[in-house]
Amino acid sequence: NAGVTQTPKFRILKIGQSMTLQCTQDMNHNYMYWYRQDPGMGLKLIYYSVGAGITDKGEVPNGYNVSRSTTEDFPLRLELAAPSQTSVYFCASSWTDGGANVLTFGAGSRLTVL
């Protein structure tokens, strides 16, 4: 049981390049999330999904896109990378505990845009 797996762990992009951050979970969770974390800041929600085929914007969605074709996978696409997208990205999935969503995080992907 691997939990939430993210790839790549590190990536350097040039301004204007595009890339996809991969996220896979093997816990059969319906809910999945992408957060970004900037130094000294909390986690900001980019996009989330409540099930295959359903996605919605979070607090900071501009410059990103997601898809959810299967329960397991929730990739995050960066189009036209900008220095402001330099951050650590965390994918998470959640299970319910008495009605509350409890998040489990992947190891993170550190992205630098130069």
- Amino acid at position 29, single letter: H
| Site size for another protein (CB under 8 A) | 27
Q: Residues 18, 84, 101, 112: which binds another protein (CB under 8 A)?
A: 101
Residue 112 CA to its chain's centroid (Å):
16
Task: Give the nearer residue to another protein in terms of CB position, either 64 or 90.
Answer: 90
The whole-angstrom separation of Cα 71 and Cα 107 is 19
Of 44, 7, 29, 51, the C-alpha closest to 103 is: 29
Sheet holding 19-25, edge to edge: 4-7, 19-25, 76-78, 64-66
- Residues 20-59: x/- map of binding to another protein (CB under 8 A)? -----------x-x-x----xxxx-x--x-x-----x-x-
Task: Give the nearer residue to another protein in terms of CB position, either 27 or 45.
Answer: 45
Residues of the shown chain interacting with another protein in the complex, contacts defined by CB under 8 A: 31, 33, 35, 40-43, 45, 48, 50, 56, 58, 90, 92, 94, 97-108
